[in-house]
Amino acid sequence: MQKSKKSESLPMKDPDPARVPRAGDQDQEVKIRVTDKRFWVQEGEDTPARESSSSLKPTYVEELETSRAAAEKKVEEVIASYREFRDKSEAENRQARERIRNEYEKRLQQARGETVEKFIDIFENFERALLHARKSPDREGLLKGVELIHTQFGGILAELGLEEVAEPGESYDPELAEAVAVTEVSQSEEDNLILEVVRKGYRLNGKLVRPARVRVGQLGD
């Protein structure tokens, strides 16, 4: 019986208020300390404060994203520069083509004027010959006038680079003439020779403008 009384008289120690809540105190918050051991969280910093003030991404990821953004910006700058260069080049090409076309038209008109000017004298000589023929029955004078005009006309054409091709006595060349007739010959020297020019052919500055039509000799059996 004494042992029971002694145990009743011993005072009971209250448990740690931080670990076990007291009875009847249910609204009191239990404080539990948690230590974040992740390598990017510095010692002594609270996790909620760290998450609110800084990104949770590793540093190398942020560096990669920064590098990518800089590269994309550089690419956009290069593309913009290329487009500007392309537009400028196209504008310069259009202007160059316009200048070339204008220069070509100018030279073409100048060449036409110079060519027409060369034939004005011939045209006027024809008018004088016709006027003389109407006033005078002198056929000899008219013939001389026509011959003069013909000579003048031929000189101007030669000056412009016009020359005859495939004349009689030359060897027949199918590149310069068309054989419209073949005549049998007895002499070998006349074989494949041009015997007659039916229609003259001409070449201007080395380029054939009209082939001649000729009669060609062919040695008989």
Q: Report pLDDT digits (tens) over 141-180.
A: 778 888 888 898 889 889 889 999 999 999 999 999 999 9
161 in Cβ contact with 205 (< 8 Å): yes
Residue 29 DSSP one-character state: P
- Crossing angle (nearest 10°) for helices 139-159 and 59-135: 170
Write down the pLDDT at residue 42. Answer: 52
CA distance 195 to 177: 12
**Residues 6+ positions from 31 with CB-CB distance below 8 Å:** 18
CATH number 3.90.20 is the correct assignment for the domain at 57-160: yes
Handedness of CA 41, 45, 50, 53 (dihedral sign): negative
| pLDDT higher than threshold 80 for residue 27 | no
163-221 belongs to which homologous superfamily?
Head domain of nucleotide exchange factor GrpE (2.30.22.10)
Tokens 């026509």 found at: 146
Give yes or no for residue 53 having a pLDDT over 60.
Answer: no
Using an 8 Å Cβ cutoff, are 192 and 216 in contact?
Answer: yes
What are the structural domain ranges in the chain? 57-160, 163-221
pTM over 0.85: no
Quote the CA–CA distance of 65 and 178 in Å, as a whole number: 81
Question: Distance between CA atoms of 130 and 142, rounded to whole angstroms?
Answer: 8
Using CB atoms within 10 A of its CB, is residue 214 exposed (0-12), middle (13-18) or buried (19+)? buried
| Alpha carbons 162 and 205: distance in angstroms, whole number | 6
For residue 38, pLDDT beyond 70? no
Confidence at 202, pLDDT banded by 50, 70, 90:
very high
pLDDT of the residue at 10 = 47
b or e along 4-26 (b: 16 or more beta carbons within 10 Å of the residue's beta carbon)? Answer: eeeeeeeeeeeeeeeeeeeeeee
First to last CA, the chain: 172
* pLDDT the model gives residue 39: 53
Give the mean model confidence (pLDDT) for residues 59-68.
84
| Amino acid letter, 206 | G
Q: What type of residue is 171?
A: S
